């Protein structure tokens, strides 16, 4: 049986989150949404979890209804994650890090707060007002 292919970010994040801790399908969905910034539907999540289970990469604990079950990586599942990590290399590292916003002007990382301004119809994030001003000067007439 060929190994599961990870072809999108939703699947990648799902296995990453499971490698952090066991959790419910619903929790995984919410967390994947948070990290990818995209809406994830149960139709994307549950068939994949089912597939992982079929390969014995995860096991479930809890009651039979899908929303009540928590998913845990098995030792086989951990090996699968290790194979993925080799395959994806740096991409993998980047994916696990929480997303940081970067100042549109000076490229520094904005940890919290920052300054937002709409320039040329686009809402941009800056670390401070001065950067917004600098960007505006360079990018508008």
CA–CA dist 61, 91 (Å, integer)? 31
CA–CA dist 52, 48 (Å, integer)? 6
Residue 94 binds to Zn ion (criterion: CB under 5 A): no
Q: CA Rg, the chain, in Å?
A: 20
By CB under 5 A, what part of segment 8-47 binds Zn ion?
A: none
**What's the Cα-to-Cα distance from 107 to each of 44, 101, 113, 125, 126, rounded to whole Å?**
34, 9, 15, 10, 9
Contact 18, 72 (CB under 8 A): yes
**Rounded least distance, CB 24 to Zn ion, Å:** 39
Residue 103 binds to Zn ion (criterion: CB under 5 A): yes
Closer residue to Zn ion in complex, CB, 67/129: 129
Closer residue to Zn ion in complex, CB, 24/136: 136
Residue 110 binds to Zn ion (criterion: CB under 5 A): no
**Rounded least distance, CB 136 to Zn ion, Å:** 13
Residue 131 binds to Zn ion (criterion: CB under 5 A): yes
Residue 132 binds to Zn ion (criterion: CB under 5 A): no
**Both ends of the chain: CA-CA distance in Å?**
60
Residue 127 binds to Zn ion (criterion: CB under 5 A): yes
Residue 106 binds to Zn ion (criterion: CB under 5 A): yes
Query: Which tokens go with 46?
Result: 């549950």
Q: Which spans of this chain sit near Zn ion (rule: CB under 5 A)?
A: 103, 105-106, 127, 131
């Amino acid at each position: 049986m060929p190994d599961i292919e990870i072809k999108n970010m939703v699947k990648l994040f799902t296995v990453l989150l499971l490698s952090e801790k066991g959790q419910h399908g619903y929790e995984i969905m919410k967390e994947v949404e948070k990290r990818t910034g995209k809406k994830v539907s149960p139709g994307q999540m549950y068939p994949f979890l089912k597939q992982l289970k079929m390969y014995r990469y995860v096991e479930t604990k809890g009651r039979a209804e899908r929303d009540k079950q928590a998913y845990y990586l098995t030792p086989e599942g951990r090996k699968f994650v290790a194979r993925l990590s080799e395959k994806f290399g740096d991409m993998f590292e980047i994916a696990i890090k929480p997303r940081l916003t970067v100042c549109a002007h000076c490229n520094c990382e904005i940890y919290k707060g920052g300054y937002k301004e709409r320039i040329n119809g686009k809402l941009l994030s800056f670390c401070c007002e001065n950067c917004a001003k600098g960007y505006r000067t360079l990018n508008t007439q």
